[in-house]
Amino acid sequence: MRLHPGAEHRRLRGDARLGQERTQARVGRGAMKGLRVVVPALLALSACSHAPERRAISPSQQQLVARMRAAGATDLDANGRADGGMSVAGKLDGRAFGIAVPARWNGEVVLFANGYSIPGTPVSVPADPIAKEPSGGFLTAAYQENFAVGQSAYDKPAMAVKSGVANTLRLRGWFAKLGARRFYLGGASMGGNIVMALIEKQPDAFAGAMTACGVTGDWQSEIGTLVDLRATYDYFTRGTAYELPGDHDIAANALSPVPPTGLGFTRPAWLFMQIKRMSAPIAKLFKAARANPNGPEAKIVARIASVAGVDADPAVFLFPIMTAMVGMDDMRASFGGRVYSNRDKVYHSDLLSPAENDALNRGIQRMDADPAAQAFARDWYRSTGRFQTPLVAVHNRHDGLVFAGQAVLLKQRARAQHNEAHLFQLWAPSQQKDIPTTGLKGWAHCGFTPRQAAVLWRTLHHWVETGKKPTPGRY
């Protein structure tokens, strides 16, 4: 990974596809393996989970489990690990958690906040966060250095920043009762937004923090780009073979992510079917555009990308649009209304004539925001740049869901608060990945490798231990 100090905004402005200081909707089970971020999660429905092999725990570990119970945990299930440590699944005030404690625990803890999951999916976390890594390698690297690691489930799937903050803090407080003396925090995608809320609202809770591919700006811009992309796609594909299925109201779900009442047992098959329905016309459009670069489909793709300010890339279209199609109802319920309005927005593309731009602005669908929902979104959460916790933040310049504009917003806000001393930003090389069920490749969301995730941990840990901010360069 390479940091380009001072060049982020200049380089982004030079690229019309990345020059939006807004986000591109967040969902997906990202390319950081095991990361629960949304649409890729849906596309991985065929993945199976297996019960871990059972191993006995030592007498000293049994004593620690007893202390865990005395500190308020219930439903505890401790299992020995092959490396001599143990994993423990349990609940705190009814919220599930999963942790791993190494054999020679150093008394410090690393917690992780996962990303967005599809509305209606089960709320859960892995019982063993090392055997089934939710962070792509960040937790494993810390565990190998004798840190206890873990995460808490949220109160609900999908948009859950407020409960993610509360439940992560609850797990931290419980670890403190066990004698933990220092805490670190990591998060990815929506979890990156949870990290920002925690370090800005709870400045003394964590010694250091990391965000990867995170919504480090705000939800109004994030959801705004999601809505704009869906609305623009609808406008340019209206009456063609590439129209999206379902309800075309951009303020509501197009399709239901959950099966009808009484058919809950069909949920995996139902989700897979809905994903196929949503992805099919977009994939068909891109295949036709690539087969004939000078044809009408290529023109449609270019126009959508230009108006929405995104890459002309199948993943960049698929993941945000599908998120909007199955997540808008939950977002409205979670925020208490709509957080974004395009009522007065003037859409424009240099690829369109003045008359075509006028027609676009007359014909594109509009929606209004609810002030109370916007206020809630500011609280949960719009970053301010006011944090004292050392923060390592990494993004990809090309990302299928959370775009580089989020990194720009974070940088701008930290600079406005004269707080750049507490922020170290990295750009990781973007990755092209196969998009399941489509036969296409596109920009990965959270396109990081386990090696890079381990580097993030070591960089953060060294910063906290030495007090010396990392220097730009290759990582």
- Looking at the domain assignment, is residue 276 inside a domain? yes
Domain boundary among 377, 394, 417: 377
- Over residues 249-289, the pLDDT tens digits come to 999 999 999 999 887 778 889 999 999 999 999 999 999 99
The answer to whether residue 244 scores a pLDDT higher than 80 is yes
Question: Which 3-state string (H, E, C) describes 113-134?
Answer: ECCCCCCCCCCCCCCCCCCCCC
What number of other Cβ atoms are within 10 A of residue 170's Cβ? Answer: 17
Q: Other CB atoms closer than 10 Å to residue 418's CB: what's the count?
A: 9
**pTM over the 0.85 mark:** yes
Of the candidates 377, 402, 428, which is a domain's last residue? 377
Indicate the residue among 321, 347, 377 that finishes a domain: 377
Instruction: Mark whether 237 and 212 lie in a shared domain.
Output: no
pLDDT at position 50, please? 57
Q: How confident is the model at residue 27 (pLDDT cuts 50, 70, 90)?
A: very low
Report strand pairing: 95-101 vs 108-113: unpaired
Say how far apart CA 364 and CA 366 lie, in whole Å.
7
CATH number of the domain to which 90 belongs: 3.40.50.1820
pLDDT average, residue stretch 175-200: 98
| Tokens read off for 326 | 């199955």
Q: Evaluate whether 366 touches 343 at the Cβ level (below 8 Å).
A: yes
Residue 82 belongs to a domain:
yes
Tell me: pLDDT of 29 over 50.
no
Q: Say if residue 261 is in the same domain as residue 316.
A: yes
* Domain range enclosing 313: 221-377
Q: In the predicted model, what is the mean pLDDT of the chain?
A: 90
Q: How many CB atoms lie within 10 A of CB 10?
A: 9
Does residue 434 surpass a pLDDT of 90? Answer: yes
How many independent structural domains does the chain possess?
Answer: 2
- In 3D space, the residue among 472, 437, 444 whose CA is nearest the CA of residue 45 turns out to be 437
Question: What pLDDT shows up at residue 277?
Answer: 96
